[in-house]
Amino acid sequence: MFNYVIKRVLQMIPTLIGVSILSFIIIHSVPGDPAQLIAGADATAEQVQSVSERLGLDRPLYEQYVNYVTGLLRGDLGISLHSERPVLEEIIMRFPNTIQLTLYSVIIMVIVGLLAGIMSATKPNSIRDNAAMMFSLFGISMPVFWFGIMLILVFSYYLQLLPSGGSGGFKYFILPSIVLGLSSSGVLARLTRSSILEVIHQDFIRTARAKGVKERLVVFKHTLKNALVPIITIIGLEFGTLLGGAVLTETVFSMNGLGRFIIQAIQFRDYPAVQGSILFVATIFVVVNLIVDLCYSAVDPRIRYE
């Protein structure tokens, strides 16, 4: 197990290097001059050039990337061009809101997705199966920003039960968590259904039923347990998707999170902020994937890591 973890950690390095190179190339390919934005629309060419020299934007791209990687090796994600504060401080200040939103969304996704998938698989081709699959189709095809606006319209404008946006206590996370959680629960419901249907017709399930085991135990103890490996996989993948999907949701609900920070950084052509945020999210994503892989052996004793 220990050797496997070390091997996977070493495999993360080229992945993160590739992420840093791609994010660097893409953000520097975006039209617009950050020095012009910082100096102001009425700034002279000399003022813009002065800002560009002060921030190192006038240097060749390869030199800027080398300086960026050198800072990463020291744990420095750079200085935000817009706020002139360390990018790592900006991320740490906003990340708690994003991780809270993601965790609440995952809880909703798991509860709703698993229940819908189980209900659908235990009565295939029934009314509740069709209803569950219609619900999952709605969740998969529904635009996150549209659903968020609809919830704001109903629960904030008409009913005035929940805040329409901002950051604060638990009530500020309810609507955005529902938006993200339900949008991902459709994928989980479909996968849960297919995984359970693969297991529920196997011989050991027939044997358990022949012994008189209650149907509830057959479904949750025997069937679901043996169908968990693909379910855990999709939960881990959806965690990363939800973390990235928070970009739109935080913008719709005006939350002070990492996703909204990335959008603002892109608008201001804040290269260090965008690069640092993307690398930070990518690191979390690969760590979550490692944790998911380690969970496989916990749910299926046949899986061993040498």
C-beta separation of 238 from 106 below 8 A: yes
Is 97 strand, coil or helix?
helix
pLDDT at 107: 92
Helix and strand element counts for the chain (H, E):
14, 0
Q: pTM to 2 decimals?
A: 0.82
pLDDT at 104: 92
Q: Which mean pLDDT values do the consecutive 10-residue runs of the chain (306 residues) have?
A: 76 85 80 71 76 76 83 82 84 89 91 89 85 84 86 89 83 90 87 86 82 80 80 83 76 85 82 86 84 74 61
The strand pairing partners of 79, in sequence order, are 86
Q: Which CATH number fits domain 88-299: 3.30.300.30, 1.10.260.40, 1.10.3720.10, 3.30.390.10?
A: 1.10.3720.10
pLDDT at 306: 55
pLDDT at 47: 78
pLDDT at 210: 84
Structure tokens at 42: 């009425």
17 Cα distance to chain centroid:
20
pLDDT at 302: 64
pLDDT at 277: 87
Boundaries of every domain in the chain: 2-73, 88-299
The rounded distance, in Å, linking the Cα atoms of 265 and 277 is: 9
DSSP state, 274?
Answer: H
The rounded distance, in Å, linking the Cα atoms of 244 and 36 is: 29
CA nearest neighbour of 39 among 29, 49, 30, 31: 49
CA nearest neighbour of 189 among 115, 245, 128, 129: 115
